[in-house]
Amino acid sequence: MITLLLACIGGPPTDPVLDTAEPAEEESEDPGPAELIFSFGLIADPHVTDAGDHAERLALAVADLNATATTTPLELVFVLGDIAWADGWEPAVAALDELVVPWVPVFGDNPIQVGEETGFHQAYAAQLELLSQELEGWTATSVPVELPDWGEAWLHNARFEHRDMRFVILDWNTRSLDAFWGETPDLHDLDGGSLPFLAEALDSAPAGLDDRVVLMSHMALFDGFGSLEEHEAADFAGVVEPHADVVWGHFAGHLHGNSESEWAGLDHQIVITDATWDDDISWRVVEAWADRQTWQLEHEVIVVDPQE
């Protein structure tokens, strides 16, 4: 919702006894019409484990994104985790390298669960280096942190600016190897961790329009069973709430479905994108519109026709 800024016009009367003029009326500042500035694409959960069907489905999604980029201002693609493991690292990179716009890999939980945490950094080292050269203000964690009950972990957190919007990529993946808890997020609230990275990214966000910061992650954060416990939700809200006018919300994958919700009380949007590896081959396009006051994100799921 666009916040209307009210300005009081006129000054105080020069003679409070004799001045009988009607009090000045308040008028709202017109934010002007919103314009489409650019768009970005989201691919979630390709699950590429070899050069077979999942890699082919990813390639079809990439081809559809490339076709879209010829007729729309598509300028970035985010791949929201669980991209590959086992024998899928190279086929996944080969498919994504066909994208005609910069693509940003996001770390997922499945490589961790199968013992291939370092595979992400090895497979995407060249792409991450390229992004550091192509994207404005690219800042990424580059040293491992010591996690309780786990040991050394390479958290993949990064941020950059694009057209006066700040994107923050966050590693909420737990390092717990467990059938249930391994599917739930962890804030990694410790020195060098993900929650402090988010706090710094918000504190240092450049001045600009409202809703100018967008978060990206594999695991979605929400207050409730299957995501954050009550104290964790309070910790996340405590970081975001002081910047509520700055943060639009976050996009994620992991749940293998499409959904939209809002974090109650935070005005924080949560958008989940379905996996490409099963059901329809789909991806999400997000249009970034702006008026003189705020960014507005409009998004739509695109289903790929495998026959085309």
Between 5-19, 75-89, 232-246, the lowest mean confidence (pLDDT) is in 5-19
pLDDT at 225 over 60: yes
Handedness of CA 237, 137, 156, 282 (dihedral sign): positive
Q: Which residue did the predictor score with more confidence, 46 or 22?
A: 46
Burial category of 244 from C-beta neighbours within 10 Å (exposed 0-12, middle 13-18, buried 19 and up): middle
Angle at 271 between CA 265 and CA 277, to 5 degrees: 155
Q: What is the mean pLDDT of residues 37-51?
A: 98
**Is the pLDDT reported for residue 79 higher than 50?**
yes
Check pLDDT > 90 for residue 285.
yes
Taking the C-alpha atoms of residue 88 and residue 108, their distance in angstroms, rounded to an integer, is 14
* Domain count along the chain: 1
Q: How far apart are CA 223 and CA 227, in angstroms?
A: 7
Residues in a beta bridge with 247: 213
Q: What percent of the chain has pLDDT over 90?
A: 79
Residue 195 domain-assigned? yes
List residues bridging with 301 in a β-sheet. 284
pLDDT of residue 223: 87
How many whole angstroms separate alpha carbon 255 and alpha carbon 85? 18
The helix/strand count (H/E) of the chain reads as 7, 16
pLDDT at residue number 158 = 98
CA–CA gap between residue 207 and residue 150 (Å, rounded): 38
Give me 202's structure tokens. Answer: 């918000």
Tell me the pLDDT band of 18, cut-offs 50, 70 and 90. very low
> Which two three-digit tokens encode residue 132?
């550091």
Tokens linked to 98? 């066909």
In a domain, 6, yes or no: no
pLDDT at 15 over 60: no
> For residue 61, what is the domain's CATH number?
3.60.21.10
On whether residue 285 sits in a domain, the answer given is yes
**Mind listing the pLDDT tens digit for each residue in 143-179?**
789 998 888 888 999 999 999 999 999 999 999 888 8
The runs of H, that is alpha helices, within 204-246 are 230-240
Q: Residue 177: how many CA atoms within 13 Å on its side-chain side? A: 10
| CA distance to 26, 31, 100, per residue, from 1 (Å) | 20, 12, 34
Percent of the chain whose predicted confidence (pLDDT) is above 70? 91
In a domain, 16, yes or no: no
pLDDT at 303: 97
Angle between helices 230-240 and 194-203 (to 10 degrees): 20
Query: Is 181 part of any domain?
Result: yes
In a domain, 10, yes or no: no
- Mean of the per-residue pLDDT values for the chain? 90
Q: Residue 13 falls within a domain, yes or no?
A: no
Residue 251: both structure tokens together: 């996009």
Question: Looking at the domain assignment, is residue 8 inside a domain?
Answer: no
- Supply the pLDDT for residue 61: 98
The secondary element (H helix, E strand) that includes residue 136 is: strand 136-140
pLDDT, one tens digit per residue, over 241-250 is: 999 999 999 9
Q: Is the pLDDT of residue 10 over 70?
A: no
4 has a pLDDT exceeding 90: no
Parent domain of 159: 36-303
Most confident of 20-24, 176-180, 279-283: 279-283
Check whether 26 has a pLDDT greater than 70.
no
Strand 136-140 relative to strand 158-162, pairing? antiparallel
pLDDT the model gives residue 38: 98
pLDDT (mean) for 91-95 = 98
